[in-house]
Amino acid sequence: MRTPWMNSSYKKRNDLSVLKRFIEGHIYYVILRPDTGAWAVFNEKNYKKYLDWTINEIEKEALYFRGLAYDDSGKEVDMDFPPPADSPSVAIVNITTKCNLRCKYCFVNCGSFVGEDMTEDVMNRTIDEMFSMPSKTITFELQGGEPLCNLDGMERFLQIAEEKKKAYDKIVKYRIMTNATLISDRFISLAKKYNINMGVSVDGPEEMTNNARVDANGKGCFDKVDEGLNKLISNNLTPDGAVCTIGQHNFKDTYRIVDYFHSKDIAFKPRPANYSGRELEEHMTTKKGEWFSAFKEMYYHSKELGTINFAIHIFEENVYGPIRDYICLRYPCGAAREIITINPDGTVYPCDGFKGNSTFLMGNILTESIDDMMHKEWVIKLKDRTAKDIDKCSKCLFRGMCCSCCYSAFGAFGTVYREDPHCYDMQKIFLFLIDEWIKNNVLKENEEV
Protein backbone atom coordinates (compact mmCIF):
# COMPACT_ATOMS: atom_id res chain seq x y z
CA MET A 1 0.00 0.00 0.00
CA ARG A 2 1.24 3.49 -0.76
CA THR A 3 0.29 6.73 0.89
CA PRO A 4 -0.14 9.86 -1.29
CA TRP A 5 2.74 11.67 0.43
CA MET A 6 5.02 8.71 0.13
CA ASN A 7 8.36 9.43 -1.38
CA SER A 8 9.56 6.44 -3.30
CA SER A 9 13.24 7.18 -3.15
CA TYR A 10 14.29 7.55 0.46
CA LYS A 11 18.01 7.30 0.89
CA LYS A 12 19.96 5.28 3.39
CA ARG A 13 22.07 7.13 5.94
CA ASN A 14 25.65 6.03 6.27
CA ASP A 15 26.37 7.68 9.60
CA LEU A 16 24.36 5.36 11.87
CA SER A 17 25.81 3.10 14.55
CA VAL A 18 24.79 -0.54 14.93
CA LEU A 19 24.27 -2.55 18.11
CA LYS A 20 24.00 -6.31 17.92
CA ARG A 21 21.70 -7.75 20.59
CA PHE A 22 21.24 -11.39 21.60
CA ILE A 23 17.81 -11.82 23.13
CA GLU A 24 16.19 -15.12 24.08
CA GLY A 25 18.04 -17.05 21.41
CA HIS A 26 17.56 -14.48 18.65
CA ILE A 27 19.86 -11.87 17.15
CA TYR A 28 18.65 -8.34 16.59
CA TYR A 29 20.34 -5.30 15.10
CA VAL A 30 19.62 -1.87 16.50
CA ILE A 31 20.51 0.95 14.15
CA LEU A 32 21.04 4.08 16.17
CA ARG A 33 21.73 7.73 15.49
CA PRO A 34 23.74 8.82 18.54
CA ASP A 35 23.25 12.57 18.09
CA THR A 36 19.46 12.40 18.36
CA GLY A 37 19.00 9.12 20.22
CA ALA A 38 16.70 7.77 17.47
CA TRP A 39 16.87 4.04 16.75
CA ALA A 40 15.12 1.14 15.05
CA VAL A 41 15.37 -2.65 15.35
CA PHE A 42 15.72 -5.33 12.69
CA ASN A 43 15.81 -9.08 12.96
CA GLU A 44 18.61 -10.83 11.08
CA LYS A 45 16.67 -11.31 7.84
CA ASN A 46 15.46 -7.74 7.65
CA TYR A 47 18.80 -6.33 8.69
CA LYS A 48 20.30 -7.84 5.53
CA LYS A 49 17.53 -6.16 3.52
CA TYR A 50 18.21 -2.91 5.35
CA LEU A 51 21.88 -3.16 4.44
CA ASP A 52 20.96 -3.75 0.77
CA TRP A 53 18.30 -1.03 1.09
CA THR A 54 15.66 -3.44 -0.18
CA ILE A 55 13.31 -2.99 2.81
CA ASN A 56 9.88 -1.87 1.67
CA GLU A 57 8.83 1.76 1.21
CA ILE A 58 6.73 1.88 4.37
CA GLU A 59 9.75 0.82 6.40
CA LYS A 60 11.92 3.39 4.65
CA GLU A 61 9.35 6.06 5.34
CA ALA A 62 9.20 5.06 9.02
CA LEU A 63 12.98 5.40 9.21
CA TYR A 64 12.80 8.80 7.48
CA PHE A 65 10.30 10.11 10.03
CA ARG A 66 12.62 9.06 12.83
CA GLY A 67 15.55 10.84 11.23
CA LEU A 68 17.12 7.47 10.29
CA ALA A 69 16.95 7.94 6.50
CA TYR A 70 17.11 10.87 4.06
CA ASP A 71 14.47 11.97 1.56
CA ASP A 72 15.16 11.83 -2.18
CA SER A 73 17.03 15.14 -2.10
CA GLY A 74 19.32 13.94 0.70
CA LYS A 75 17.58 15.98 3.45
CA GLU A 76 16.41 14.75 6.80
CA VAL A 77 12.98 15.22 8.34
CA ASP A 78 12.45 18.61 9.94
CA MET A 79 11.70 17.89 13.61
CA ASP A 80 10.03 20.93 15.07
CA PHE A 81 10.76 20.44 18.77
CA PRO A 82 11.15 23.46 21.02
CA PRO A 83 14.81 24.16 21.83
CA PRO A 84 15.91 24.07 25.50
CA ALA A 85 14.86 27.22 27.35
CA ASP A 86 17.38 30.03 27.58
CA SER A 87 16.05 31.81 30.67
CA PRO A 88 14.87 30.41 33.98
CA SER A 89 11.21 29.74 34.66
CA VAL A 90 11.89 27.85 37.89
CA ALA A 91 13.62 29.48 40.85
CA ILE A 92 14.76 27.25 43.68
CA VAL A 93 14.28 29.66 46.55
CA ASN A 94 16.39 28.66 49.55
CA ILE A 95 14.25 30.37 52.11
CA THR A 96 16.67 29.27 54.81
CA THR A 97 19.89 27.31 55.08
CA LYS A 98 18.85 25.97 58.47
CA CYS A 99 17.98 22.33 58.70
CA ASN A 100 16.88 20.04 61.50
CA LEU A 101 18.51 17.05 59.77
CA ARG A 102 22.02 16.11 58.64
CA CYS A 103 21.35 13.63 55.86
CA LYS A 104 24.53 11.74 55.16
CA TYR A 105 24.68 12.59 51.44
CA CYS A 106 23.31 16.12 51.54
CA PHE A 107 24.85 18.55 49.07
CA VAL A 108 23.80 21.54 51.15
CA ASN A 109 26.86 20.83 53.26
CA CYS A 110 29.01 22.18 50.47
CA GLY A 111 29.02 25.82 51.53
CA SER A 112 29.97 27.74 54.62
CA PHE A 113 26.39 27.97 55.79
CA VAL A 114 25.60 29.17 59.24
CA GLY A 115 21.88 28.69 59.02
CA GLU A 116 20.59 32.01 57.77
CA ASP A 117 17.08 32.99 56.69
CA MET A 118 16.32 34.83 53.47
CA THR A 119 16.09 38.58 53.93
CA GLU A 120 13.06 40.49 52.67
CA ASP A 121 15.10 42.51 50.18
CA VAL A 122 16.36 39.25 48.63
CA MET A 123 12.75 38.01 48.43
CA ASN A 124 11.65 41.24 46.72
CA ARG A 125 14.47 41.17 44.18
CA THR A 126 14.05 37.44 43.49
CA ILE A 127 10.36 37.82 42.81
CA ASP A 128 10.73 40.94 40.63
CA GLU A 129 13.59 39.41 38.71
CA MET A 130 11.75 36.14 38.06
CA PHE A 131 8.61 37.99 36.99
CA SER A 132 10.71 39.87 34.44
CA MET A 133 11.75 36.58 32.79
CA PRO A 134 10.04 35.87 29.45
CA SER A 135 8.28 32.66 30.52
CA LYS A 136 4.53 32.96 31.06
CA THR A 137 4.64 30.44 33.93
CA ILE A 138 6.98 31.08 36.83
CA THR A 139 7.52 28.43 39.49
CA PHE A 140 8.98 29.18 42.88
CA GLU A 141 10.22 26.03 44.57
CA LEU A 142 10.75 26.66 48.27
CA GLN A 143 13.77 24.80 49.52
CA GLY A 144 16.80 25.12 51.72
CA GLY A 145 18.06 23.68 54.03
CA GLU A 146 14.69 22.69 55.29
CA PRO A 147 12.12 25.30 54.23
CA LEU A 148 9.83 24.50 57.16
CA CYS A 149 12.57 25.76 59.50
CA ASN A 150 11.57 29.24 58.35
CA LEU A 151 7.77 29.34 58.21
CA ASP A 152 7.70 33.10 58.82
CA GLY A 153 9.98 33.64 55.84
CA MET A 154 7.95 31.24 53.73
CA GLU A 155 4.72 33.08 54.51
CA ARG A 156 6.32 36.46 53.81
CA PHE A 157 7.70 35.23 50.49
CA LEU A 158 4.27 33.97 49.41
CA GLN A 159 2.58 37.21 50.48
CA ILE A 160 5.07 39.32 48.52
CA ALA A 161 4.83 37.11 45.43
CA GLU A 162 1.00 37.25 45.49
CA GLU A 163 1.09 41.02 45.86
CA LYS A 164 3.65 41.54 43.11
CA LYS A 165 2.04 39.14 40.65
CA LYS A 166 -0.85 41.60 40.19
CA ALA A 167 1.47 43.85 38.20
CA TYR A 168 2.61 41.03 35.88
CA ASP A 169 0.79 38.83 33.42
CA LYS A 170 2.12 35.56 34.81
CA ILE A 171 0.91 32.18 35.93
CA VAL A 172 2.60 31.62 39.27
CA LYS A 173 3.14 28.21 40.79
CA TYR A 174 4.46 27.33 44.22
CA ARG A 175 6.13 24.12 45.15
CA ILE A 176 7.99 22.94 48.18
CA MET A 177 10.62 20.28 48.73
CA THR A 178 10.56 19.23 52.35
CA ASN A 179 11.90 16.50 54.58
CA ALA A 180 8.33 16.21 55.96
CA THR A 181 9.45 16.06 59.60
CA LEU A 182 8.05 19.45 60.63
CA ILE A 183 4.52 19.39 59.21
CA SER A 184 2.55 21.72 61.49
CA ASP A 185 -1.04 22.99 61.37
CA ARG A 186 0.32 26.38 60.40
CA PHE A 187 2.16 24.90 57.43
CA ILE A 188 -0.95 22.95 56.38
CA SER A 189 -3.01 26.12 56.27
CA LEU A 190 -0.28 27.97 54.32
CA ALA A 191 -0.03 25.10 51.84
CA LYS A 192 -3.81 25.18 51.31
CA LYS A 193 -4.06 28.96 51.10
CA TYR A 194 -1.31 29.29 48.49
CA ASN A 195 -1.98 26.03 46.71
CA ILE A 196 1.55 24.75 47.24
CA ASN A 197 2.48 21.55 45.44
CA MET A 198 4.19 19.15 47.77
CA GLY A 199 7.43 17.31 47.13
CA VAL A 200 8.84 15.21 49.95
CA SER A 201 12.14 13.43 50.45
CA VAL A 202 11.91 9.88 51.76
CA ASP A 203 14.35 7.08 51.06
CA GLY A 204 11.94 4.17 51.50
CA PRO A 205 10.76 2.12 54.50
CA GLU A 206 11.92 2.69 58.06
CA GLU A 207 15.47 1.36 58.24
CA MET A 208 16.37 2.61 54.78
CA THR A 209 15.34 6.19 55.51
CA ASN A 210 16.83 5.99 59.00
CA ASN A 211 20.20 4.84 57.68
CA ALA A 212 20.75 8.06 55.78
CA ARG A 213 18.29 10.75 56.79
CA VAL A 214 19.40 11.50 60.34
CA ASP A 215 19.42 14.43 62.77
CA ALA A 216 22.51 16.04 64.30
CA ASN A 217 22.66 13.20 66.88
CA GLY A 218 22.57 10.56 64.17
CA LYS A 219 18.97 9.53 64.93
CA GLY A 220 16.88 8.48 61.94
CA CYS A 221 13.86 10.61 61.05
CA PHE A 222 11.46 7.98 59.67
CA ASP A 223 8.83 8.17 62.46
CA LYS A 224 8.51 11.91 62.06
CA VAL A 225 8.39 11.61 58.27
CA ASP A 226 5.65 9.02 58.47
CA GLU A 227 3.67 11.19 60.85
CA GLY A 228 4.16 14.20 58.55
CA LEU A 229 3.13 12.25 55.46
CA ASN A 230 -0.01 10.96 57.14
CA LYS A 231 -0.89 14.48 58.21
CA LEU A 232 -0.43 15.78 54.67
CA ILE A 233 -2.49 12.93 53.19
CA SER A 234 -5.33 13.35 55.69
CA ASN A 235 -5.44 17.05 54.78
CA ASN A 236 -5.72 16.31 51.05
CA LEU A 237 -2.16 17.48 50.47
CA THR A 238 -0.82 14.17 49.14
CA PRO A 239 2.64 14.91 47.70
CA ASP A 240 2.70 14.98 43.92
CA GLY A 241 6.12 13.37 44.10
CA ALA A 242 8.62 11.96 46.51
CA VAL A 243 12.35 12.09 45.87
CA CYS A 244 13.98 8.87 46.97
CA THR A 245 17.75 9.14 46.99
CA ILE A 246 19.41 5.82 46.28
CA GLY A 247 22.68 4.81 47.89
CA GLN A 248 24.35 2.32 50.21
CA HIS A 249 21.47 2.69 52.68
CA ASN A 250 18.79 1.33 50.36
CA PHE A 251 19.97 0.07 46.97
CA LYS A 252 19.82 -3.65 47.85
CA ASP A 253 16.10 -4.00 48.62
CA THR A 254 14.56 -1.66 46.16
CA TYR A 255 11.45 -3.79 45.62
CA ARG A 256 10.58 -2.83 49.22
CA ILE A 257 10.94 0.84 48.28
CA VAL A 258 8.40 0.29 45.50
CA ASP A 259 6.06 -1.47 47.96
CA TYR A 260 6.44 1.39 50.41
CA PHE A 261 5.46 4.13 47.96
CA HIS A 262 2.74 1.92 46.52
CA SER A 263 1.21 1.49 49.98
CA LYS A 264 1.24 5.28 50.46
CA ASP A 265 -0.06 5.84 46.91
CA ILE A 266 2.71 8.38 46.26
CA ALA A 267 4.52 8.70 42.93
CA PHE A 268 8.26 8.66 43.51
CA LYS A 269 11.53 9.42 41.80
CA PRO A 270 14.46 7.23 42.79
CA ARG A 271 17.83 8.64 41.79
CA PRO A 272 21.37 7.90 42.97
CA ALA A 273 22.95 10.46 45.27
CA ASN A 274 25.03 12.91 43.29
CA TYR A 275 28.63 13.71 44.11
CA SER A 276 28.45 16.89 46.13
CA GLY A 277 28.62 18.16 49.72
CA ARG A 278 28.57 15.54 52.49
CA GLU A 279 28.32 12.80 49.88
CA LEU A 280 32.00 13.40 49.09
CA GLU A 281 32.94 12.46 52.67
CA GLU A 282 30.33 9.80 53.43
CA HIS A 283 30.45 7.90 50.10
CA MET A 284 26.80 6.92 50.32
CA THR A 285 26.04 6.82 46.62
CA THR A 286 25.80 3.67 44.53
CA LYS A 287 28.98 2.04 43.25
CA LYS A 288 29.44 0.75 39.71
CA GLY A 289 26.49 -1.46 38.73
CA GLU A 290 24.41 -0.83 41.84
CA TRP A 291 22.15 1.88 40.41
CA PHE A 292 21.49 -0.28 37.37
CA SER A 293 20.59 -3.34 39.44
CA ALA A 294 18.30 -1.20 41.62
CA PHE A 295 16.73 0.35 38.52
CA LYS A 296 16.06 -3.07 36.99
CA GLU A 297 14.45 -4.38 40.17
CA MET A 298 12.28 -1.26 40.51
CA TYR A 299 11.38 -1.40 36.81
CA TYR A 300 9.88 -4.89 37.08
CA HIS A 301 8.21 -4.34 40.43
CA SER A 302 6.76 -0.91 39.54
CA LYS A 303 5.27 -2.40 36.36
CA GLU A 304 3.84 -5.29 38.34
CA LEU A 305 2.15 -3.01 40.86
CA GLY A 306 1.34 -0.09 38.58
CA THR A 307 3.19 2.38 40.81
CA ILE A 308 4.29 5.64 39.24
CA ASN A 309 8.05 5.59 39.29
CA PHE A 310 9.23 8.84 37.69
CA ALA A 311 12.78 7.66 37.13
CA ILE A 312 11.58 4.75 35.02
CA HIS A 313 9.07 6.94 33.23
CA ILE A 314 11.74 9.56 32.41
CA PHE A 315 14.27 7.02 31.17
CA GLU A 316 11.60 5.30 29.06
CA GLU A 317 10.53 8.62 27.57
CA ASN A 318 14.12 9.32 26.64
CA VAL A 319 14.80 5.94 25.10
CA TYR A 320 11.47 5.42 23.37
CA GLY A 321 10.43 8.93 22.32
CA PRO A 322 11.99 11.79 20.37
CA ILE A 323 11.33 14.60 22.88
CA ARG A 324 13.80 15.29 25.67
CA ASP A 325 11.98 17.52 28.09
CA TYR A 326 13.49 16.31 31.33
CA ILE A 327 16.25 18.77 32.14
CA CYS A 328 18.63 16.22 33.67
CA LEU A 329 18.63 13.73 30.76
CA ARG A 330 19.32 16.07 27.90
CA TYR A 331 22.18 18.12 26.46
CA PRO A 332 22.38 20.95 27.28
CA CYS A 333 20.94 20.33 30.74
CA GLY A 334 18.70 22.73 32.65
CA ALA A 335 21.41 24.40 34.74
CA ALA A 336 21.11 28.20 34.26
CA ARG A 337 18.56 27.48 31.55
CA GLU A 338 15.23 26.34 33.02
CA ILE A 339 16.42 26.76 36.60
CA ILE A 340 18.55 28.82 38.92
CA THR A 341 18.87 28.69 42.68
CA ILE A 342 18.97 31.64 45.05
CA ASN A 343 20.44 31.49 48.56
CA PRO A 344 19.17 33.52 51.54
CA ASP A 345 21.96 36.10 51.07
CA GLY A 346 20.98 36.68 47.42
CA THR A 347 23.76 34.64 45.85
CA VAL A 348 22.68 32.86 42.68
CA TYR A 349 23.92 29.50 41.28
CA PRO A 350 23.12 27.60 38.07
CA CYS A 351 21.60 24.56 39.78
CA ASP A 352 20.70 23.23 43.18
CA GLY A 353 23.79 21.07 43.66
CA PHE A 354 26.08 24.08 43.16
CA LYS A 355 24.50 26.22 45.83
CA GLY A 356 27.21 27.61 48.04
CA ASN A 357 30.02 26.59 45.67
CA SER A 358 31.91 29.84 44.99
CA THR A 359 33.35 28.50 41.70
CA PHE A 360 29.83 28.63 40.29
CA LEU A 361 28.61 31.87 41.86
CA MET A 362 26.67 33.66 39.10
CA GLY A 363 26.24 36.89 41.08
CA ASN A 364 24.06 38.44 43.75
CA ILE A 365 20.44 39.25 43.06
CA LEU A 366 20.73 42.38 45.23
CA THR A 367 23.25 43.94 42.88
CA GLU A 368 22.82 42.25 39.48
CA SER A 369 19.95 41.26 37.23
CA ILE A 370 19.44 37.60 36.32
CA ASP A 371 19.77 38.67 32.71
CA ASP A 372 23.25 40.13 33.31
CA MET A 373 24.29 36.99 35.17
CA MET A 374 23.06 34.81 32.31
CA HIS A 375 25.25 36.73 29.88
CA LYS A 376 28.53 36.17 31.70
CA GLU A 377 30.98 34.31 29.51
CA TRP A 378 31.43 31.32 31.84
CA VAL A 379 27.66 31.01 32.40
CA ILE A 380 27.06 30.95 28.64
CA LYS A 381 29.74 28.27 28.32
CA LEU A 382 28.14 26.18 31.06
CA LYS A 383 24.67 26.65 29.60
CA ASP A 384 25.88 25.49 26.20
CA ARG A 385 27.73 22.43 27.48
CA THR A 386 26.87 19.44 25.31
CA ALA A 387 28.19 15.93 24.71
CA LYS A 388 30.73 17.22 22.20
CA ASP A 389 32.50 19.12 25.01
CA ILE A 390 33.10 15.90 26.97
CA ASP A 391 35.54 13.38 25.58
CA LYS A 392 33.72 10.20 26.65
CA CYS A 393 30.20 11.53 25.93
CA SER A 394 31.21 12.79 22.47
CA LYS A 395 31.91 9.16 21.47
CA CYS A 396 29.00 7.59 23.35
CA LEU A 397 26.17 5.87 21.49
CA PHE A 398 23.64 7.17 24.03
CA ARG A 399 24.62 10.83 24.00
CA GLY A 400 21.33 11.78 22.31
CA MET A 401 19.26 10.51 25.24
CA CYS A 402 21.58 11.24 28.15
CA CYS A 403 23.36 13.94 30.08
CA SER A 404 26.21 14.15 32.52
CA CYS A 405 25.11 16.12 35.59
CA CYS A 406 27.34 19.21 35.81
CA TYR A 407 27.55 19.39 39.56
CA SER A 408 27.96 15.65 40.07
CA ALA A 409 30.75 15.55 37.45
CA PHE A 410 32.36 18.53 39.17
CA GLY A 411 32.08 16.84 42.57
CA ALA A 412 33.60 13.59 41.33
CA PHE A 413 36.26 14.89 38.93
CA GLY A 414 36.73 18.59 39.71
CA THR A 415 35.47 19.61 36.26
CA VAL A 416 32.08 19.75 34.58
CA TYR A 417 33.69 18.49 31.36
CA ARG A 418 33.56 14.83 32.31
CA GLU A 419 30.98 12.08 31.90
CA ASP A 420 28.40 11.53 34.62
CA PRO A 421 29.92 9.64 37.59
CA HIS A 422 27.06 7.10 37.17
CA CYS A 423 27.79 6.75 33.45
CA TYR A 424 28.41 2.98 33.56
CA ASP A 425 24.96 2.41 35.05
CA MET A 426 23.28 4.84 32.69
CA GLN A 427 24.66 3.01 29.66
CA LYS A 428 23.37 -0.24 31.14
CA ILE A 429 19.92 1.30 31.72
CA PHE A 430 19.67 2.54 28.12
CA LEU A 431 20.63 -0.88 26.76
CA PHE A 432 18.28 -2.65 29.17
CA LEU A 433 15.33 -0.50 28.05
CA ILE A 434 16.12 -1.15 24.38
CA ASP A 435 16.22 -4.90 25.09
CA GLU A 436 12.96 -4.70 27.05
CA TRP A 437 11.36 -2.97 24.10
CA ILE A 438 12.49 -5.74 21.78
CA LYS A 439 11.19 -8.39 24.19
CA ASN A 440 7.83 -6.69 24.67
CA ASN A 441 7.21 -5.59 21.12
CA VAL A 442 9.17 -7.66 18.66
CA LEU A 443 9.45 -10.99 20.43
CA LYS A 444 6.00 -10.94 22.02
CA GLU A 445 4.10 -10.13 18.89
CA ASN A 446 6.48 -12.17 16.77
CA GLU A 447 6.43 -9.39 14.23
CA GLU A 448 9.16 -8.64 11.79
CA VAL A 449 10.38 -5.05 11.75
List residues near ligand SF4 by CB under 6 A.
99, 101-103, 106, 108, 144-146, 179, 201, 213, 327-328, 333-335, 351, 353, 387, 392-393, 396, 398-399, 402-407, 419-420, 423, 426-427
Residue 406 lies near ligand SAM (rule: CB under 6 A): no
Instruction: Please give the helix or strand (H or E) that residue 210 lies within, else none.
Output: helix 206-212
Q: What is the DSSP string of 219-242?
A: -B-HHHHHHHHHHHHHTT---SEE
| Of the candidate residues 46, 150, 210, 245, the single one contacting ligand SAM (CB under 6 A) | 245
Is 139 near ligand SAM (CB under 6 A)?
Answer: no
Amino acid at 301: H
438 contact partners, CB below 8 Å, separation of at least 6: 21, 23, 28, 41
> What does 122 interact with, of ligand SF4, ligand SAM, none (CB < 5 to 8 A by kind)?
none
Q: Which is nearer to ligand SF4, 93 or 423 (CB)?
A: 423
- Residue (of 271, 193, 272) closest to 237 by Cα position: 193
What ranges make up the beta strands (E) of 298-382?
Answer: 339-342, 347-349, 363-364
- Out of 37, 144, 270, 400, the only residue in the binding site for ligand SAM (CB under 6 A) is 144
276 binds, among ligand SF4, ligand SAM, none (CB under 5 to 8 A by kind): ligand SAM
Helices (H) and strands (E) counted in the chain, each on its own, are: 17, 14
Task: Please answer whether residues 258 and 250 qualify as being in contact, where contact means their C-beta atoms are separated by less than 8 angstroms.
Answer: no
- For the chain, the farthest-separated pair of C-alpha atoms sits apart, in whole angstroms, at 72
Name the binder of 327 from ligand SAM, ligand SF4, none, CB < 5-8 A by kind: ligand SF4
| By CB under 6 A, residue 106 contacts ligand SAM | yes
How far apart (Å, rounded) are the C-alpha atoms in residues 396 and 15?
A: 14
Q: Does 312 bind ligand SAM (CB under 6 A)?
A: no
Q: Which is closer to ligand SF4, CB of 70 or CB of 349? A: 349
Q: Residues 416, 385: contact at Cβ < 8 Å?
A: yes
**Minimum CB distance to ligand SF4 smaller for 55 or for 90:** 90
Measured from the CB atom, the residue of 201 and 302 that comes closer to ligand SAM is 201
Give residues in contact with ligand SAM (CB under 6 A): 99, 105-108, 143-144, 146, 177-179, 201, 243, 245, 273-274, 276-277, 279
